[in-house]
Amino acid sequence: MSRFTLLRSFLLAVLALGSAGALSAAAPSTAHAAIIDRVVAQVNDEIVTLYELEKEARTYLVQQGRSARVLEDPERREDVLREVLDDLVERLLINQAASEVGEAVSDAEVDEWMRTLRQQQGLDEQQFMQMVAQYGIDFETYQEVVRDNLLRMRMVSLSGRSATVADSEIDSIYRRRHGSSGKERFIRVRHILVEVDGESEAAEEAARQRASELRAMVDQGADFAEVARQHSEGPGKDQGGMLGEFRRGQLEATFEQAAFAMEPGQISEPVRTPFGYHIIEVVESEERVAQASAERRARIRAELQEQAMNRQIEAYLQTLRAKAYVDIRY
């Protein structure tokens, strides 16, 4: 999945990730840490101190709209710190793996990602910054959250894992939620029309017979469009019988039933409508997402892509953990 073409719901999820986000300030010096700190985790040759963990936990709680006073409750404090520590360890693993292969996310890439998100949501820069502020984090911290998550996705992609979503998956979920696939069939049709000259049985039979003769001409190799130009009595005659493109509900009912039962290249038997006898050819057929369902399908795709990416990230992290020295001391 391209790191700059992520869908809206997945992009917004980055803001409210169940992760600790990015380091929001410089870590304490080693000397200071030795006095007031203890090591809570070691990942290869890097350590995480209790001071860093508690600081990240406060940022994490703010991102979630929760009070830092949660850390004063011993039981809830432990849950939060363990969750944040897991994220810190994961970030160290990914950063170390990226460093080994010389990968990094530049400021320009972060800016491009945010510009794409602003455009997708129709926000100017000030409005975008206000949206970020609603999550309770400063803009610099948000930029680092973006950088961390872009790096995660890049490293997953470089590992050969994919988070693509098949259209069939979207169709299945759409049907389950909304009762249909959310698609419409469009056909491009042309016809040859023979009008019925009068109301007698003889006039009816003569028109039907004439339509059968014209169809036979096409069956025998005559060009449909040329036969329409010379013999059709209906609209589109000068354009070789071309009527145009239609979806269901736009054509006379009998004509529509016959046309939508056909595949491109097929030619109908004479079809009787109030206008006379038609010989119908479906020139093209295409299924498209109906306008009303496009937004729903986009949301479903975003959900599935986020789920797929999360699975791939987890699998990638398991691979990194298996090769690394990870010592959790909290």
pLDDT value at position 19? 37
Q: How far apart are CA 323 and CA 68, in angstroms?
A: 35
Q: Is the pLDDT of residue 57 over 60?
A: yes
pTM over 0.75: no
Strand pairing report for 39-43 and 326-328: antiparallel
Strands ordered across the beta sheet of 46-49? 46-49, 39-43, 326-328
Over range 107-119, report the average pLDDT. Answer: 90
Percent of the chain with pLDDT over 70: 88
> What average pLDDT does this structure show over 41-45?
94
Q: How confident is the model at residue 48 (pLDDT cuts 50, 70, 90)?
A: very high
* Contact predicate 85/328, CB 8 Å: yes
Residue 3 has pLDDT above 60, yes or no: no
285 CB neighbour count, 10 Å cutoff: 17
CA atoms within 13 A on the CB side of 318: 6
Q: What's the count of helices (H) and strands (E) in the chain, helices before strands?
A: 12, 7
Q: What's residue 73's pLDDT?
A: 87
Residues 6+ apart with CB under 8 A from 29: none
Residue 311 has pLDDT above 60, yes or no: yes
pLDDT at 111: 92
Which residue carries 């004479």 as its tokens? 270
- The confidence score (pLDDT) of residue 10 equals 37
Structure tokens at 253: 């009912």
37 contacts: CB under 8 Å, gap ≥ 6: 28, 49, 50, 51
pLDDT winner (highest mean) among 59-68, 95-104, 161-170, 309-318:
95-104
Mean pLDDT, rounded, for 124-144: 83
Of residues 100 and 163, the one with the higher pLDDT is: 100
pLDDT at 34: 42
The SS3 assignment for 74 reads helix
- Quote the CA–CA distance of 27 and 24 in Å, as a whole number: 9
> Mean pLDDT, to the nearest integer, of 101-119?
91
- Compute the average pLDDT of residues 258-284: 96
Q: What is the pLDDT of residues 172-191, one digit of tens each?
A: 888 888 777 677 889 999 99
Task: State how far the Cα of 91 lies from the Cα of 22, in Å rounded to an integer.
Answer: 9
Nearest 5°: phi and psi at 298?
-65, -40
Helix (H) or strand (E) holding 40: strand 39-43
pLDDT band for position 86 (50/70/90)?
A: very high
The predicted structure's pLDDT at residue 30: 40
Select from 207, 330, 322 the least CA-distant residue to 270.
207
User: Does position 50 have pLDDT exceeding 70, yes or no?
Assistant: yes
Average pLDDT for the chain: 84
Per-residue pLDDT, 41: 93
pLDDT tens for each residue of 214-231: 999 999 999 999 999 999
Q: Is the pLDDT of residue 17 over 50?
A: no
- Judged by phi (left if over 0) then psi (alpha if -120 to 50, else beta), residue 97 lies in alpha
